[in-house]
A and B are shown apart, each in its own frame.
Chain A
Amino acid sequence: MAFLELTNVSKVFGQTAAVQDFNLNVERGEFVSFLGPSGCGKTTTLRMIAGFELPTTGTVIINGNDVTFKPPQKRNTGMVFQAYALFPNMNVAENIGFGLKIARKPKDEIKKRVEEVLAIIKMDSFGNRYPYQLSGGQQQRVALARALAIQPQVLLLDEPLSALDAKIRVSLRQEIRAIQQKLGITTVYVTHDQEEALSLSDRVVVMNNAKIEQVGTPFEIYNFPNTEFTAQFVGTLNHISATVRDVANGVLAIDSQQVVTAQKLEGVSNGTAVTVSIRPERISFAEDGRKPNVLNIKVENITFLGSIVRVQVRAGDNLFLMDTFNNPFLKLPEIGDTVEITFSKEAVLVLKNGS
Chain B
Amino acid sequence: MKATMQTTQTLSAVSPPRARNISFAWLGVVPFFIFAILFLILPSATLLIGSVQDRQGNLTLGNFAGMFQGVTLKFVAAPSEASLLGVTFPLPFTVDFQSNSIVSAYILSMQVGIITALTGGIFGFLLAYAAVLGGLPKFVRSALLTFSGVASYFSGVPLAFAFVATLGRLGFITVLLRNYFDFDLYMTGFSVISLLGLILTYTYFQFPLMVLVITPALDGLKREWREASENLGASGAEYWRYVAFPIILPSLLGTMILLFGNSFGAVATAYALTGGNFQLATILIFRQIRGEVLQDPGLGYAVAVGMIIVMALSLALYYWLQRRSERWLRR
Q: Which residue of A lies closest to B324 (CB)?
A: A89
Using A85-B224, A88-B247, A98-B229 as known contacts, say yes or no to A73 and B235 having CB atoms under 8 A apart: yes
Q: Could you say which residues of chain B place their CB within 8 Å of the CB of A83? A: 222, 224
Q: Does B81 contact A (CB under 8 A)?
A: no
* Size category, A interface: 20 to 34
Separation of A83 and B331 alpha carbons in the complex (Å): 10
Q: Does B233 contact A (CB under 8 A)?
A: yes
CB of B176 to closest CB in A, whole Å: 47
Q: Evaluate contact between B233 and A99: CB separation under 8 angstroms.
A: yes
Q: Does A137 contact B (CB under 8 A)?
A: no
Q: Could you say which residues of chain B place their CB within 8 Å of the CB of A85? A: 222, 224-225, 227-228
Q: Could you say which residues of chain A place their CB within 8 Å of the CB of B225? A: 85, 87
Q: Could you say which residues of chain A place their CB within 8 Å of the CB of B235? A: 73
Q: Evaluate contact between A150 and B246: CB separation under 8 angstroms.
A: no
Separation of A147 and B233 alpha carbons in the complex (Å): 11
Number of A-B contacts (CB under 8 A): 76
Q: Which residue of B lies closest to A87 (CB)?
A: B243
Q: Evaluate contact between B224 and A99: CB separation under 8 angstroms.
A: no
CB of B222 to closest CB in A, whole Å: 7
Binary flags per residue of A95-134, CB closer than 8 Å to B gives 1, else 0: 0001101110000000000000000000000000011100
Q: Could you say which residues of chain A place their CB within 8 Å of the CB of B234? A: 73, 98-99, 102
Q: Evaluate contact between A103 and B233: CB separation under 8 angstroms.
A: yes
Q: Which of B229, B232, B329, B331 has the most CB of A within 10 A?
A: B232
Q: Does B74 contact A (CB under 8 A)?
A: no
Separation of A226 and B238 alpha carbons in the complex (Å): 48
Q: Evaluate contact between B227 and A79: CB separation under 8 angstroms.
A: yes
Q: Does B242 contact A (CB under 8 A)?
A: yes
Using A87-B225, A89-B243, A102-B238 as known contacts, say yes or no to A150 and B232 having CB atoms under 8 A apart: yes
Q: Could you say which residues of chain B place their CB within 8 Å of the CB of A101? A: 242
Binary flags per residue of B310-331, CB closer than 8 Å to A gives 1, else 0: 0000000000000000011111
Q: Does B231 contact A (CB under 8 A)?
A: yes
CB of A224 to closest CB in B, whole Å: 36
Q: Which residue of B lies closest to A136 (CB)?
A: B331
Q: Does A250 contact B (CB under 8 A)?
A: no
Separation of A169 and B233 alpha carbons in the complex (Å): 29
Kindly identify which residue among B224, B230, B243, B246 contacts A73, using a CB–CB cutoff of 8 Å.
Answer: B230
Separation of A296 and B70 alpha carbons in the complex (Å): 108
Q: Which of B225, B228, B238, B243 has the most CB of A within 10 A?
A: B228
Chain A, 142-165, CB within 8 A of any chain B CB: 143, 146-147, 150
Q: Which residue of B lies closest to A50 (CB)?
A: B231
Separation of A84 and B229 alpha carbons in the complex (Å): 12
Chain B, 238-280, CB within 8 A of any chain A CB: 238, 242-243, 246-247
Q: Evaluate contact between B227 and A81: CB separation under 8 angstroms.
A: yes
Interface of B is mostly: helix
Q: Does A280 contact B (CB under 8 A)?
A: no
Separation of A328 and B50 alpha carbons in the complex (Å): 84
Chain B, 200-239, CB within 8 A of any chain A CB: 222, 224-225, 227-235, 238
Q: Could you say which residues of chain B place their CB within 8 Å of the CB of A76? A: 233
CB of B248 to closest CB in A, whole Å: 10
Separation of A86 and B242 alpha carbons in the complex (Å): 13
Separation of A84 and B246 alpha carbons in the complex (Å): 19
Q: Could you say which residues of chain B place their CB within 8 Å of the CB of A98? A: 229, 232, 234, 242
Q: Could you say which residues of chain A place their CB within 8 Å of the CB of B242? A: 87, 90, 98, 101-102
Q: Could you say which residues of chain B place their CB within 8 Å of the CB of A73? A: 230-231, 233-235
Separation of A50 and B233 alpha carbons in the complex (Å): 11
Kindly identify which residue among A78, A90, A102, A132 contacts B331, using a CB–CB cutoff of 8 Å.
Answer: A132
Separation of A91 and B247 alpha carbons in the complex (Å): 13
Separation of A200 and B118 alpha carbons in the complex (Å): 54
Chain B, 107-141, CB within 8 A of any chain A CB: none
Q: Does A39 contact B (CB under 8 A)?
A: no
CB of B238 to closest CB in A, whole Å: 6
Separation of A255 and B224 alpha carbons in the complex (Å): 55
Q: Could you say which residues of chain A place their CB within 8 Å of the CB of B328? A: 88-89, 130-132
CB of A117 to closest CB in B, whole Å: 13
Q: Evaluate contact between A87 and B228: CB separation under 8 angstroms.
A: yes
Q: Evaluate contact between A81 and B224: CB separation under 8 angstroms.
A: yes
List 15 extra interface pairs beyond A85-B224, A102-B234, CB under 8 A. Answer: A52-B230, A72-B227, A72-B231, A77-B231, A79-B227, A81-B228, A83-B222, A88-B247, A98-B232, A98-B234, A98-B242, A99-B234, A130-B328, A132-B330, A132-B331
**Chain A interfacial positions (CB closer than 8 Å to B):** 50-52, 71-73, 76-79, 81, 83-90, 98-99, 101-103, 130-132, 143, 146-147, 150
Closest 3 CB pairs of A and B: A85-B224, A99-B232, A88-B328
